[in-house]
């Protein structure tokens, strides 16, 4: 059974800082891994999807890396802004098209 | 991009009543839809996988007679919470997989969620 852990659980930083969010998973037999953003009381917004054959993906100020063999992924956020405040979830896709979610990192970026 | 809608966005009901939540893929066909539940301060937990025209597959610990899932068309899946109780209060989120290639790894697109409160 896939288990996903995200560290830290919460993070509060001043605007402008560069951040690293960590995700680890126990079963390395994954097809891909997605990072999502969830605002309070809302659904999920997909940020980045990394295929199992890829090492990283970039979108604007976001960069996600994947080390499948060690069961780790990181999300790097450059020059953080207050609008980045949200909960960030990682979810590897395993057999049976099953997405397993971590409990997320709650990010607060202070102006 | 692909859009998934859910209706209603919020529902409050009395204990013992049934509530139906709809999940629609608006601009693509989805042969597979997924239902998740999220309790406060917790992550999303998969409840069931719904394939169009066949019975849903439920995760361990999810009561299939309590959470009825119907996936009658390629754009609509419904989740009915039967005889709802306060402990069923949660945030229910659906996702739909765009099956353009038939691959099991096609992207899942998520709906905005439905907040259920059972009094």
Q: CB B46 to CB A41 under 8 A?
A: no
pLDDT at B51: 86
Average pLDDT over residues B41-45: 89
Partners of residue A100 in chain B, C-beta under 8 Å: 46
- Closest residue in A to B111 (Cα–Cα): A43
pLDDT at residue B99, as a whole number: 65
Higher pLDDT pick, A64 / B52: A64
Considering only CB atoms, B43 lies closest to which of A31, A96, A104, namely: A104
User: Under an 8 A CB cutoff, do B97 and A89 touch?
Assistant: no
The pLDDT tens digits for B55-108 are: 899 999 999 999 999 988 889 999 999 999 999 999 999 999 876 665 656 678
- pLDDT of A7: 96
The Cα A74–Cα A65 span in angstroms is 5
B109: which 2 tokens?
């697109």
Number of neighbours of residue B23 by Cβ within 10 angstroms: 28
CB contact at 8 A, B4 and B110: yes
User: Residue B105: its pLDDT value, please?
Assistant: 61
Show residues of chain A in contact with B109, CB under 8 Å. 46
Q: For chain A, what percentages of helix, strand and coil (3-state, to nearest 5) are there?
A: 5, 60, 35
pLDDT at A10: 96
Residues of A in Cβ contact (< 8 Å) with B104: 31, 96-97
Going A81 to A87 to A93 to A99, the CA torsion angle's sign is: negative
* B37 DSSP 8-state letter: E
């Amino acid at each position: 059974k896939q288990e996903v852990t995200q560290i830290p659980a919460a993070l509060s930083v001043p605007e402008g800082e560069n951040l690293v969010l960590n995700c680890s998973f126990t079963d390395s037999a994954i097809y891909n891994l997605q990072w999502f953003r969830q605002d309070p009381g809302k659904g999920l917004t997909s940020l980045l999807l990394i295929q199992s054959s890829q090492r990283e993906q970039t979108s604007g100020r976001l960069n996600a890396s994947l080390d499948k063999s060690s069961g780790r992924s990181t999300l790097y956020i450059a020059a953080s802004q207050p609008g980045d405040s949200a909960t960030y979830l990682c979810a590897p896709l395993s057999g049976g098209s099953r997405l397993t979610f971590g409990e997320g990192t709650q990010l607060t970026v202070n102006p | 991009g692909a859009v998934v809608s859910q209706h209603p966005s919020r529902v409050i009901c009395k204990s013992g009543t049934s509530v139906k939540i709809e999940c629609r893929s608006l601009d693509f066909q989805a042969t597979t839809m997924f239902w998740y539940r999220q309790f406060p301060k917790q992550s999303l937990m998969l409840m069931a996988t719904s394939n169009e025209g066949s019975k849903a597959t439920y995760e361990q610990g999810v009561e299939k007679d309590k959470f009825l899932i119907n996936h009658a068309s390629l754009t609509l899946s419904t989740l009915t919470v039967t005889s709802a109780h306060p402990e069923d209060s949660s945030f229910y989120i659906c996702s739909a997989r765009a099956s353009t290639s038939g691959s099991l790894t096609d992207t899942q697109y998520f709906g905005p969620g439905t907040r259920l409160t059972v009094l």
